[in-house]
A and B are shown apart, each in its own frame.
Chain A
Amino acid sequence: MGMLVYLTRRLISLFLSLVVASMVIFLVVEVAPGDPASYMLGINAQPDTIAALRTELGLDQPKLQRYFSWVTGMMTGDFGTSYTYRAPVAQMIADRMWISLPLALMALTLSALIAFPAGLLAASKRGKAGDVSVMAATQLGVAIPNFWFAMLLVLLFAIKLRWVSAGGFAGWDNPMAAIKSLTLPAIALALPQAAILTRVLRSALIDTLSEDFMRTARAKGLTRGQTLWRHGLRNALIPVLTILGLQFSFLLAGAIIIEQVFYLPGLGRLIFQSITQRDLIVVESVVMLLVFAVIVVNFLTDLAYALVDPRLRSRA
């Protein structure tokens, strides 16, 4: 029962967030200066040619009507047609998604793989050399811009050592080559995030370690390691899950910039291309898709911790 009420409330707020998000994105793009039709036809275009193209693209319709057709279109998977490429936006997004999504997921996995051992080490050796060095490394990690780190990786692994190519994407026909070209970008994305995650995990574990039930677990004969593993980690997982959820949004957004460093033809490059060509419909749809992904992931994170911690259901 508690779970059902919780789920309903969260679903309503999820829906409202999406509605507001779509309105904000539409408004920002619509009020922006620059007419796509005149941009496409160049400065020498005749006014009547521009008007004809505006009609063709549906730009002459009232804003409200265009908003609704955009939103209802997206719900049925129709993201409209790109002004410049005259291709369905949905198809363009789908093609590029195969780079950005694996990249974000690889980075998320990497950051968890680094952060969990590092956070556990720091928390269990609190105040000792291991903890101090992990914390110093994270302090540096949060200060490094990921695109600069990416450039350093290129300098070392592509230019000096020649282990990988400096950029570009080989395509998924050859999965090994594809993963190889995503490796450096994923490391660049993951490291600063791993630093944040390590800090959160460490402080959550330290908080949990001081709880009474941890002492009880020790008293009933579990070793330090067993208590940390069975009771500490599970309880510390709640703040960690929140951060992991938030990180997904950072990783998607970060991927946009990292794709520029490695010349990866992902969603990020699509956004920047469309921005320079004033291909509004593509910009709107890609941004909406990213925001949608982030809001839904945060929603799923909330659900996940309602499952991990039953206490949260009643509190919500």
Chain B
Amino acid sequence: MNRSLLLGACLSAIFLLGALLSFVWTPADVGAMDIPNRLKSPDFHHLLGTDHFGRDLLSMIMVGARTSIAVAVVAVGIGMGAGVPLGLAAAAHSGGMIDEFISRGNDLIFAFPSLVIAILITASFGAGAINAIIAIGIFNIPVFARLTRGAALSLWQREFILAARVAGKSTTRISAEHILPNIANLLIVQGTIQFSLGILAEAGLSYVGLGAQPPTPSWGRMLADAQTMVALAPHVAIVPGLAIVSMVLGLNLLGDGLRDRLDPKLRVMRT
């Protein structure tokens, strides 16, 4: 087993388990304020210290992981759910009107500065986790559509697809039964990368106040709250940031490791 896969899987698993555990148990109540103990540095009682309301940072990180993971997972789901069928359709009708329409649409969305539009969407329709998911998800669609189209196009040239056509299968059936299983690995790897980008995007949006709203804890807003406190208690700014970095790093390493393991020949553009 390669090292980046192992390290990535471990880091990702820690956050996933922490998030799941937070449904049944956290070291302290995330809603409970304890003003006398505010801005405490990490110690035995509060392993990661407390924030300006005396809330336990470890508990907030655990519950915040839920928000980050939920937003990123659904956003990737939107991207895959819409992008993969579009990519398959474009490849199946390569060179035709459908292909042209889908490909130009992709180019167009790619040309948009995603964060600016995400800000526009969340600002117009109201800040909140749902709108953040939609805003991030929309920009995942062309990523998966492009990837699927490219990979599917080369598969359509292969003999086993020709055999399936000769056997009388429709393009839709071929896409679903033969193309899709063969590009699944590629999609899983890209999914991991988009997942990590989703975590970063959610953190950015909630940092500027457009993501999940209080009282739902989120890593980005923890950083925003910490900003004025950074001189007094640096740990309130360092802890949530480290959580974001470790989670994103873990997912990226996992993606790299999976790519090498699933198919050494695959090279996914990471931008």
By a beta-carbon cutoff of 8 Å, the part of chain A in contact with chain B is 13, 16-17, 20-21, 24-25, 28-29, 31-33, 139-140, 142-145, 147-148, 151-152, 154-155, 159, 196, 199-200, 243, 246, 249-250, 252-254, 256-257, 260-261, 271-272, 275, 283, 287, 290-291, 294-295, 298
Contacts and interface: CB of A to CB of B under 8 A. Distances in A.
Contacts of A257: 115, 204, 207-208
Interface in B211-239: 223, 226-227, 230-231, 234, 237-238
B61 to A, nearest CB: 14
A249 B270 contact: no
B245 A140 contact: yes
Interface residues of B, number: 41
A159 B230 CA distance: 9
Interface in B181-232: 196, 200, 203-204, 207-208, 223, 226-227, 230-231
21 contacts: A17-B108, A25-B120, A32-B125, A33-B125, A139-B252, A142-B248, A143-B252, A145-B207, A148-B240, A151-B227, A152-B237, A152-B241, A243-B271, A246-B271, A250-B115, A257-B208, A261-B227, A275-B123, A290-B116, A291-B112, A294-B113
A306 to B, nearest CB: 16
Contact of A32 (B114, B124, B252, B271): B124
A28 B104 CA distance: 21
Contact of B115 (A32, A155, A254): A254
A21 B271 contact: no
Nearest to B118: A253
B119 interface: yes
Contacts of A151: 223, 226-227, 230, 237, 241
Given A140-B249, A143-B249, A152-B237, 8 more contacts: A148-B237, A151-B226, A151-B237, A152-B241, A155-B230, A246-B271, A252-B113, A253-B114
B116 A148 contact: no
Contacts of B97: none
Contacts of B249: 139-140, 143
A147 B248 contact: no
B121 interface: yes
Across chains A and B, which 6 residue pairs bring their CB atoms closest together, nearest first? Answer: A32-B124, A253-B115, A148-B241, A143-B248, A143-B249, A275-B123
A14 to B, nearest CB: 9
A155 B113 CA distance: 29
Interface in B105-131: 107-108, 111-117, 119-121, 123-126
Contacts of B108: 16-17, 20-21
Contacts of A256: 115-116, 119, 208
Given A20-B108, A253-B114, A143 B196 contact: yes
A313 to B, nearest CB: 18
Nearest to B226: A151
A159 B233 CA distance: 12
A60 B12 CA distance: 52
B253 interface: yes
A159 B253 contact: no
A294 to B, nearest CB: 5
Contacts of A16: 108
Contacts of B234: 155
A253 B119 CA distance: 9
Contacts of A144: 241, 245
Nearest to A284: B120
B257 to A, nearest CB: 12
Contacts of B116: 252-253, 256, 287, 290-291
A28 B270 contact: no
B244 interface: yes
A257 B116 CA distance: 10
